[in-house]
């Protein structure tokens, strides 16, 4: 059975479809949600041979005009250079306003292809086919498109919601194990901020999820999409409430940067969540014991945290203060009340004294 979750964006509603084997039905789904004269599949060179070529064959046998545009896998490709090459390739191939772009891949592919779709001939329809846990539960939901720049990640982009998101847990079987555990950190985050029962389910099913068991994966992907979908539907352009998705990320981003990116995003955010819960406990906002609960739940993911001990607390503080400049003042933190509930302050986040932050970093790194 396919699960359908409606997400609202720019006054339009688009569905996220979650189902095992759904990719095989892609041509029918395209007919329903994004009928177009031509389709351009965008995929990286790791996912392309695994899934995009099969998508092409299936679409062609259903009588559709479709071609593949590929780029080298990895964050290094999320650039204006790749954007410019892809848009030139689409123009050379004769794509027009009646074309639709299909992004098949992880969050890098999703963000890059969405930015191409947002800008190509001033915008063409987009279908997201996320293939990593992270892309299914996070990157493909919410309509953000963009690329990285010398000055930082995701600094040039647009909002360009897709016509439909198609999440088929079958594809997770080939996802490298580090990518599985890293992506699942964001699922734990969804449970931690919004749904204690979901958090408990994730703990109980951690092994199955790491094995990419399709039934467990389908349930978790659907639960996370529903939660993130509710948040972005309420606050599409990041006015306020959407900030709660930043739980663990203020410190997570600083740890990631201070480690010289030897800590993965998932590992850094996992450590960030534990530390931010610790901050909340010190401030008596967060129920005592919450950071321990988070720490033991996340430990089940077997994240590679070795380089955490080498991270220099001073460097973390310095990354936090460079972050401050962009936010006119101090770093802001989303704090939990307890697992499943965030502190409902004005703006959904609050400033925390630097000294306390430093203390927590020194304790836990």
Q: Which of 74, 294, 110 is nearest to 202 (CA)?
A: 294
- Is residue 238 near ligand NAD by the rule CB under 6 A? no
> Is residue 194 classed as helix, strand or coil in its secondary structure?
helix
Q: Which of 135, 255, 263, 342 is close enough to bind ligand NAD by CB under 6 A? A: 135
Active site residue 163: no
- Is residue 248 near ligand NAD by the rule CB under 6 A? no
Alpha-carbon gap, residue 21 to 191, rounded angstroms: 26
- Is residue 276 near ligand NAD by the rule CB under 6 A? no
Q: Which of 140, 133, 136, 84 is nearest to 114 (CA)?
A: 140
Active site residue 64: no
Active site residue 265: yes
Stretch that binds ligand NAD, among 100-108, 198-206, 288-296, 309-317 (CB under 6 A): 100-108
Active site residue 122: yes
Lookup result for tokens 């720490």 = 295
Alpha-carbon gap, residue 43 to 121, rounded angstroms: 20
Closest distance to ligand NAD from the beta carbon of 63 (Å): 27
Lookup result for tokens 């996070």 = 138
Q: Which of 15, 29, 41, 106 is close enough to bind ligand NAD by CB under 6 A? A: 106
Find out whether 184 and 190 touch, Cβ atoms under 8 Å. Answer: no
Q: Which of 239, 223, 208, 18 is nearest to 129 (CA)?
A: 18
- Is residue 142 near ligand NAD by the rule CB under 6 A? yes
Find out whether 343 and 335 touch, Cβ atoms under 8 Å. Answer: yes
Active site residue 253: yes
Q: Which of residues 38-67 bind ligand NAD (CB under 6 A)?
A: 44, 46-47, 50
Write the DSSP symbol of residue 49: I
Question: Cβ closer to ligand NAD: 264 or 293?
Answer: 264
Closest distance to ligand NAD from the beta carbon of 226 (Å): 16
Give the tokens for residue 330.
Answer: 């101090």
Closest distance to ligand NAD from the beta carbon of 19 (Å): 16
- Is residue 78 near ligand NAD by the rule CB under 6 A? yes
Alpha-carbon gap, residue 298 to 291, rounded angstroms: 10
Which ranges of the chain would DSSP assign to H, the alpha helix? 26-33, 47, 53-61, 80-92, 107-119, 133-134, 177-194, 196-204, 206-210, 214-234, 249-258, 265-282, 290-299, 313-326, 354-364
- Is residue 158 near ligand NAD by the rule CB under 6 A? no
Q: Which of residues 205-224 bind ligand NAD (CB under 6 A)?
A: none
Q: Which of 55, 116, 164, 171 is close enough to bind ligand NAD by CB under 6 A? A: 171
Q: Which of 109, 128, 224, 246 is close enough to bind ligand NAD by CB under 6 A? A: 109
Q: Which of 105, 161, 214, 272 is close enough to bind ligand NAD by CB under 6 A? A: 105
The residues annotated as belonging to the active site are: 122, 144, 186, 228, 238, 242, 246, 249, 253, 265
Q: Which residues bind ligand NAD (CB under 6 A)?
A: 44, 46-47, 50, 73-75, 78, 105-109, 111, 131-132, 134-135, 138-139, 142, 144, 153-154, 171-172, 174-175, 179
């Amino acid at each position: 059975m396919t699960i359908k979750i409606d997400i609202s964006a720019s006054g339009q509603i688009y569905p996220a479809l979650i189902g095992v084997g759904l990719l095989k039905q892609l041509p029918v789904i395209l007919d329903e949600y994004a009928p177009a004269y031509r389709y351009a599949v965008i995929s990286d060179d790791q996912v392309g041979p695994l899934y995009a070529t099969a998508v092409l064959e299936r679409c062609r046998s259903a009588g559709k005009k479709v071609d593949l545009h590929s780029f080298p896998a990895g964050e290094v490709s999320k650039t204006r250079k790749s954007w410019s090459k892809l848009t030139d390739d689409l123009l050379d191939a004769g794509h027009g306003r009646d074309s639709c772009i299909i992004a098949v891949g992880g969050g890098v592919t999703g963000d890059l292809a969405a930015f191409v779709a947002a800008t190509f001939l001033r915008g063409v329809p987009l279908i997201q086919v996320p293939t990593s846990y992270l892309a299914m539960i996070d990157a493909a939901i919410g309509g953000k498109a963009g690329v990285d720049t010398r000055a930082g990640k995701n600094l040039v982009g647009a909002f360009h919601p897709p016509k439909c998101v198609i999440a088929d847990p079958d594809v997770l079987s080939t996802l490298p194990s580090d990518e599985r555990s890293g992506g699942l950190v964001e699922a734990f985050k969804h449970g931690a901020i919004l749904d204690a029962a979901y958090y408990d389910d994730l703990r109980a099913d951690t092994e199955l999820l790491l094995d990419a068991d399709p039934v467990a994966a389908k349930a978790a992907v659907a639960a996370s999409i529903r939660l993130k979908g509710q948040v972005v539907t309420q606050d599409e352009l990041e006015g306020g409430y959407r900030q709660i998705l930043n739980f663990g990320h203020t410190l997570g981003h600083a740890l990631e940067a201070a480690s010289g990116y030897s800590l993965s995003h998932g590992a850094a955010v996992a450590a960030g969540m534990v530390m931010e819960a610790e901050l909340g406990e010190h401030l008596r906002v967060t129920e005592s014991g919450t950071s321990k609960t988070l720490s033991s739940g996340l430990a089940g993911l077997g994240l590679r945290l070795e380089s955490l001990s080498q991270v220099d607390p001073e460097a973390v503080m310095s990354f936090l203060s460079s972050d401050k400049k962009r936010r006119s003042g101090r770093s802001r933190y989303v704090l939990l009340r307890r697992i499943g509930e965030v502190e409902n302050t004005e703006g959904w986040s609050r400033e925390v004294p630097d000294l306390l932050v430093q203390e927590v970093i020194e304790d836990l790194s």
